[in-house]
Amino acid sequence: MEAIVQRKEFRPKDGKGMKECHSFIRFPQAGAPYGEQMAAVVSALEEISSSVQVRFVRFFLSDAANQQPALEQAMSGCGHPVSYIQQPPLDGTKLAAWVYSTDGDAGTMDLVWDACMTSPAEGSEAQMSGIFSDYDARLRERGLTVADDCLRTWIFVHDVDVNYGGVVKGRRDYFNGIGLLPDTHFIASTGIEGRHAEPLKFVTMDAVAARGLDPQRIQYLHAKDHLSPTADYGVTFERGTAVHFDDRTHAYISGTASIDSKGQVLHVGDVRKQALRMLENIEALLAEASAGLGDIVMAVVYLRDTADYLAVRSVIDEKCPGLNAEFVLAPVCRPAWLVEMECIAIRLSVPILQE
């Protein structure tokens, strides 16, 4: 049985410039053995790789300890960054993949992806600090730095209800040391439940940076009428970051939940209302980059409770029909948040909006 590929492409209307594509690969039938599902998903990925340049892949796994080693072997020598994280797909299958690929001349857009970064340190705080330190060293080998060039991180936390506090402190202390402060800027990010195959690796990180980008082309998104600054409650990430390339604008929206302008959880216990407020907040962030929900090219929806899948799916389908998204089981950093969504939107380049 073949895997299913759902994709969303972007290319300027004149047909010139690089084509970008975000694809989700899924096996069409729950209950099949993992080996069969893995083979079909990897085969679909290889087919994509035969015609375009794959830049980054993330696998969402239902049981990383048992599934990740075989998948790593299958992906050895692929030539692009690969992320593996236990965040079970909510359609009942054992794995899914998000694939970012490009085709054509990139022009001024030079994105640098890194995946599945971990640390041997003990405890989530030390691991978070160590991951950022190692990542900065890796970037410096390419002439980049975390402070100046990193656009977006994804931070996966094993047992987020226990270990997220250490992640917050480790990141905040590291950022303080490199000058990322409330009056400068932070980095767009998602901090969410996610497990590595090795149980003592409490923190895993993916990231994307941009090479040679003028800082004037970077716009931080706030939507302060809808969401509070993250520093108000002690965390250090941007709600969203827009990057204005010559012919297109990317908007990286961090993990966004049902929160208000005072940092309070809205609609406690009501997942449908939380999903609606989540989308309202995302729409407000995108609007600052002159984009909208229709410009989203990929999204990941995170749920704390599998029983909420159908309710949230119905809200998403109604408000964002045809959304290119993966739904996974992954509790958010506050237990009262039942659902969170992140996304990437792309639209034709627009002027930077000033506050």
Q: pLDDT (tens digit, 9 = 90+) per residue, 158-172?
A: 999 999 999 999 999
Q: Are 29 and 47 in contact (CB under 8 A)?
A: no
Give the C-alpha distances (Å, rounded to integers) separating 262 from 25, 224, 225, 226: 38, 9, 9, 9
Neighbours of 16 (CB within 10 A): 11
Parts of the chain with a pLDDT under 70: 351-355
Contacts of 275 (CB under 8 A, 6+ apart): 258, 311, 312, 315, 316, 339
Structure tokens of 351?
């002027």
Give the C-alpha distances (Å, rounded to integers) separating 195 from 83, 130, 198, 199: 12, 18, 8, 7
**Which CATH entry fits the domain spanning 4-348: 3.20.20.30, 2.40.110.20, 3.20.20.70, 3.30.1330.40?**
3.30.1330.40
Query: Angle at the Cα of 332 (from 326 to 335), degrees rounded to 5?
Result: 140
Rounded-to-integer distance, Cα 104 and Cα 314, Å: 37
63 SS3 class: coil
Contacts of 77 (CB under 8 A, 6+ apart): none
pLDDT score at 14: 74
Distance from chain centroid for Cα 97: 13
Q: Could you write out the DSSP letters of every residue in 169-237?
A: HHHHHHHHHHT--TTS---EEEEEE-B-SSTT--EEEEEEEETT--GGGEEEE--TTTS--GGGGT---
pLDDT score at 106: 79
The continuous run of DSSP H or E covering 5 comes out as strand 4-10
Give the domain ranges of the chain: 4-348
pLDDT score at 354: 47
Q: Are 115 and 194 in contact (CB under 8 A)?
A: no
> How many residues comprise the chain?
355
Torsion of CA 79, 85, 87, 88, to 10 degrees: 60
Rounded-to-integer distance, Cα 292 and Cα 136, Å: 33
Q: Is 79 left (phi over 0), alpha (psi -120 to 50) or beta?
A: left
pLDDT (tens digit per residue) in 234-253: 999 999 999 999 999 999 99
pLDDT score at 352: 59
This prediction's pTM: 0.96
